[in-house]
Structure 1
Amino acid sequence: MTHLRWPVALAAVVVALVMQVSLFPHVAWHGVVPNLCLLVVVAAALTVEAPFALLLGFTAGLALDLAPPADHVAGRWALALTVAAFLAARVRQDQKPSALAVVGTVAAASFVATSLFALSGVLLRDPATSVAGLLEVVLVALVWDVLLTPFVLPPLMRLFARLHPQWATS
């Protein structure tokens, strides 16, 4: 089943990306939508080996950078989701993470990734990014991601575990 791992992971990223850019803008809270691509990456990082999760994080981030209506410098989400994958993979141990650890990991990954994306916008002088609005954006994104965690992470983690059982946590 390991040969299906990449196609299934990329399909999960595509579904997440399409929902994130087409459906969720209609329920945006203060202009911020849930980052489903981040949730896919964290699910992979908590379930399978780190190199796979890092590459998936970069791929998902790059797709997010290039998907319309992106109006920022490409590479910012790729960097942010790769760092989030690295941090989430560090949480993974030899045993299955508890529900509290999963939610905590999503919260930390969301905070770090959104902060990194926002701060890179400030450093690159992105006109759509202001220092004053950074904290609000980061906190709203964190709330969105944590609220969707119970609905997104468990099925994705089971899926990744079935596709690569020798690396999956038990």
Structure 2
Amino acid sequence: MRVNRILLSSSLIVVALVLQVSVLARLHLPGAVPDLLLLTVLGLALVYGHVGGALVGFAAGLLADLAPPADHAAGRYALVLCVIGYLAGLVKPETGQVKSATGPMVVVVAAAIGSTLLYAGVGALVGDTAARHVGLGSLLFTAALYDLLLAPFVVPGVMALARRAENDPLAETASATSGDISSGWLSGGTGLRIGGRRNGLRVKAARARVARAGRIKGVKRL
């Protein structure tokens, strides 16, 4: 991974973990705890792809395994987030444009349910039956609900920061428009489409200038 990816990912992961442990975990909400760390991994995976998503997920999960008050075997959550980061990176948009909020919302719900099932499954293999006592059904429902409500405030911002760190032209286009990438993710990618039209007009204007220059040179040769 590039240095800018490592620095940005490390900073976001640390901030997300601190907020999750010190704030979200203390809200004592029924069922699951909103997984800010998972949403951060998803946002980075949707920009970095499956390889970057797997590496970021593994690092984030391992940090969560070692950070207090962890009460499970080290490496358990690292495995879960590594798999989730890899799978989320597979659905990275080829053009980098998120045209609607439907795709990311589906990814968030699937990741919340998948991570809960995978975490419970790994726990069952090592003899941890806590999920069975709490109720797996309620955990799945509350995990998907909390992460879905929190996602619009986390995933678009993480994706925007990742693209800026990559010096991605899409980030500059999105910031130049009124929507930016956050509102584009929520409103169906309006800002990105407008930016695409502007870029198309610029390309057409450049081609017209080249054509005029070619015609002028032809006249001079005659």
Matched with 2:144 is 142
Question: Highest Rg: 1 or 2?
Answer: 2
TM, length-normalised to structure 2: 0.70
TM-score (norm 1): 0.90
Give RMSD over aligned pairs: 2.1
- Of residues 119, 125, 128, the one that matches 1:126 is 128
- Work out the CA distance in 2 between the residues paired with 1:160 and 1:29: 30
Q: Quick one: percent identity of the two aligned structures? A: 40
Q: 1:12-62 CA deviation, whole Å, 9 max, x = no partner?
A: 000000011111122232252111111111001111232221100000011
Counterpart CA distance in 2 for 1:94 and 1:165 is 17
2:134, 2:21 → 1: CA distance?
A: 25
**Amino acid paired to 2:89:** A
Size of the aligned set, in residue pairs, is 169
- 1:19-168 counterparts in 2 under 5 A? 19-95=19-95, 96-97=97-98, 98-130=100-132, 133-165=135-167
**Residue identity matched to 1:74:** A
Q: Distance in 1 between matches of 2:169 and 2:113?
A: 27
Relative contact order higher in (CA < 8 Å, ≥ 6 apart): 1
CA deviations 1:127-170 (Å, max 9, x no partner) are 53326612211221111111101000111100001111459797
Cα pair 2:112 2:147 within 8 Å, conserved: yes
Shift of 1:122: 1.6
Kept in 2: contact 1:48–1:167 (CA 8 A): no
For 1:36, the aligned partner's letter is: L
Tell me how far apart the structure 2 counterparts of residues 105 and 127 of structure 1 sit (CA, whole Å): 27
Unaligned runs of 5+ in 2: 172-191, 193-222
Cα distance in 1, alignment partners of residues 169 and 77 from structure 2: 27
Structure 1: gaps spanning 5 or more residues: none
Q: How far, CA to CA, are the matches of 2:170 and 2:78 in structure 1?
A: 24
Contact residue 47 and residue 167 of structure 1 kept, 8 A: no
The amino acid across from 1:72 in the alignment is: H
Q: Is the 8 A contact 2:24 2:33 kept in 1?
A: yes
Q: 1:48 to 1:165 in 2, by over 3 A?
A: farther
